[in-house]
Structure 1
């Protein structure tokens, strides 16, 4: 059996040092957990409109996002579940470039499921606005007139 014995001349000073070391370790662990948790911002920035909220848990929050982009009188027409492709091809890369114009990026969501909310809107050159939501957070969106081959545009128009 091994016994470690040592004598401390000033117990108060030793206890203070142990307490300070303990606090430093706790702070380091907390900082690592906070930084490594993958917490994402609740806002994004778009050149055209500035900073806007990504909170999209409720219908009211989703309508507020559309209002941020100047889209009024939106009516929910469809809601379904989609899967973001695991591997991006040229089409999904181009679509993700559109997302990046509004401060979003689908790359971290590859292979994940998301909800797609489709709204009828009265916007210039668009009859629909589509919001992609994952975990109650906006991850993508676009405007379209649903005419095949004419593509999609960023929410910012």
Structure 2
């Protein structure tokens, strides 16, 4: 068995920590930065199962399906998904199932609702919004809706004529 012993002074310990910090800082400075913005090509690749961490990614998702929205959300709030669905939630989940999403695994959970103002809607309707319900950077529900008395709700994957 070989034993190696050394004396370490306070000066040597501080110098070692500073040297290690300089190496870590240098590696971090030279590492490539992640892109914060999403290009038009990348927007086409964003699907409903893509992780949505940034506002740019959420806007790119909507634009990838042909929706023109304001760059910043009109509102962002935390919501509680009910543990049991009434008829309204059953109908809403049917819309989600039609576009490949499902709210049932998230019953009783919290999520963040992002609401974006559409700048134009194919029928010319005013006050139409896009809603993205996100939990842990995953899209769990999405819709296009008009809150008027004779309003509508439909998925984001289909563009009305």
Using the size of structure 2 for normalisation, the TM-score is: 0.61
Q: Alignment partner of 1:152: what SS?
A: strand
Q: Does 1:69 align with 2:69?
A: no
Gap change, CA 1:101 and 1:112, over 3 Å in 2: same
Alignment match, 1:156: 157
1:100 to 97, 100, 105: 97
The answer as to whether partners of 2:46 and 2:64 remain within 8 angstroms in 1 is: no
Deviations 1:82-103 (A, max 9, x none): 0111101111010001011211
The answer as to whether partners of 1:130 and 1:142 remain within 8 angstroms in 2 is: yes
Deviations 1:54-81 (A, max 9, x none): 3111111111210221112334111011
Consecutive unaligned residues in structure 2, runs of 5 or more: 1-43
Cα deviation, residue 50, structure 1 = 9.8
Q: Alignment partner of 1:66: what SS?
A: helix
Cα deviation, residue 51, structure 1 = 7.7
The answer as to whether partners of 1:55 and 1:62 remain within 8 angstroms in 2 is: no
Gap change, CA 1:110 and 1:143, over 3 Å in 2: same
Deviations 1:87-132 (A, max 9, x none): 0111101000101121100010000000000000122256100000
1:86 and 1:123 map into 2 onto residues whose CA distance is: 33
The answer as to whether partners of 2:59 and 2:69 remain within 8 angstroms in 1 is: no
Alignment match, 1:120: 117
Q: Alignment partner of 2:68: what SS?
A: coil
RMSD: 2.1
Q: Alignment partner of 1:103: what SS?
A: coil
Q: Does 1:54 align with 2:50?
A: yes
Consecutive unaligned residues in structure 1, runs of 5 or more: 1-48
